[in-house]
Amino acid sequence: MAKRGGFSGGGMPGNMQNLLRQAQRMQSQMQESKAKLEEQEFTAAAGGGAVKVTVSGAKVLKSIELSQDAVDPEDVETLQDMILAAVNEALRQVDAESEKLFGGMAGGMGMGF
């Protein structure tokens, strides 16, 4: 009488083991890449360089530099807009680098994520 269910010939367990090893390798690579990303700094400017901001790869604002030309007590809104533009651009740079590092990793397992 033929057995039903289970694995015949041990084919599937080997494939599953390989898949698990590959997943562990990928997880390790992702952790290393994340640590490297978080150590990087991204700088963006606005207003022709009047405002410069630096953020870390962990999206922590590290510094804001303002030129004296950017500080006009009569036009605070423009300074606020330049700061927002520079911060948003620096954060966009972090997102772009993150996508470059992690974007293709899930697809590398052959699972079509």
Alpha-carbon distance of 86 to 55, in angstroms, equals 10
Structure-block tokens of residue 48: 């022709």
The model's pTM: 0.70
Q: What is the pLDDT of residue 14?
A: 77
Average pLDDT over residues 20-39: 91
Q: Which domains does the chain have, with CATH numbers?
A: 32-103 (3.30.1310.10)
- Radius of gyration (C-alpha) of the chain in whole angstroms: 24
CA 66 to chain CA centroid, nearest Å: 27
- On the CB side of 3, how many CA atoms lie within 13 Å of its CA? 5
Alpha-carbon distance of 110 to 88, in angstroms, equals 34
Query: Are 33 and 97 contacting, i.e. CB atoms less than 8 angstroms apart?
Result: no
Q: How far apart are the first and last CA of the chain?
A: 41
Q: What is the pLDDT of residues 25-34, one digit of tens each?
A: 989 988 998 9
